[in-house]
Amino acid sequence: MADVSFTNFNLYNLNRPGLKLYKNSRPWTEGEYAAKIDFSARMLKLLAADVYGFQELWHAGALADILAAAGLSEEFTLLAPEGHAGGKIVCAGAVRSSLLVGEPEWIEKFPESFRLSSSGDDKQTSHIAVSLDTFSRPVLHFTIKPQADELPIHVFVCHFKSKGPTQIFREPWYDNDVYSRHAEAIGGGLSTIRRTAEATALRMILTDLMKGTHEPVVVLGDVNDGLLSNTLNILTGQPRYLMGFSTGGGDADLYTAQTLQQYRSTRDVYYTHVFNNERESLDQILVSEEFYDNSRDRVWKFVELVVQNDHLNFKDHRALGTNDHGIIRATFRHAPLKQEVAKPPEPGD
CA distance 177 to 336: 63
CB of 326 closer than 8 Å to CB of 312: yes
Q: What residues are paired with 280 via a beta bridge?
A: 273
Q: Identify how many contiguous H helices and E strands the chain contains and give both numbers.
A: 8, 16
CB of 264 closer than 8 Å to CB of 294: no
CB-side neighbour CA atoms (13 Å) of 249: 25
pLDDT digits (tens, 9 = 90+) for 39-64: 999 999 999 999 999 999 999 999 99
Whether the pLDDT of residue 299 is over 50: the answer is yes
Q: Which helix (H) or strand (E) holds 317?
A: helix 317-320
pLDDT (0 to 100) of residue 349: 44
Whether the pLDDT of residue 243 is over 70: the answer is no
Burial class of residue 18, CB neighbours in 10 A (0-12, 13-18, 19+) = exposed
Mean pLDDT, residues 139-163 taken together: 96
For the chain, the structural domain boundaries read 3-104+140-160+218-342
The pLDDT-based confidence of 177 (bands split at 50, 70, 90) is very high
How far apart, in Å, are the Cα atoms of 88 and each of 15, 56, 85, 163, 322?
A: 10, 9, 8, 20, 21
The pLDDT-based confidence of 268 (bands split at 50, 70, 90) is low
Q: What is the DSSP string of 192-243?
A: HHHHHHHHHHHHHHHHHHHTTS---EEEEEE-SS-TTSHHHHHHH-------
3-state secondary structure of 155: strand
- Considering the domain 3-104+140-160+218-342 in this protein, what is its CATH number? 3.60.10.10
Whether the pLDDT of residue 206 is over 70: the answer is yes
- Which candidate, 300, 273, 289, places its Cα nearest to that of 237? 289
CA distance 322 to 320: 5
pLDDT (0 to 100) of residue 242: 67
- Torsion angle (degrees, nearest 10) of CA 272, 31, 6, 78: 140
Whole-number mean pLDDT of the chain?
91
Calculate what percentage of the chain has a pLDDT beyond 90: 74
- Torsion angle (degrees, nearest 10) of CA 150, 156, 157, 160: -150
pTM: 0.92
Pairing of strands 273-275, 217-222: unpaired
pLDDT (0 to 100) of residue 247: 62
Mean pLDDT, residues 221-239 taken together: 91
CB of 166 closer than 8 Å to CB of 190: yes
Better pLDDT: 323 or 341: 323
Sign of CA dihedral 296, 300, 303, 304: negative
Render the burial of 150-189: b for 16+ CB within 10 Å, e for the rest: eebbbbbbbbbbbbebbebeeeeeeeeeebeeebeeebee
Gyration radius (Cα) of the chain, Å? 21
pLDDT (0 to 100) of residue 255: 93
pLDDT (0 to 100) of residue 198: 97
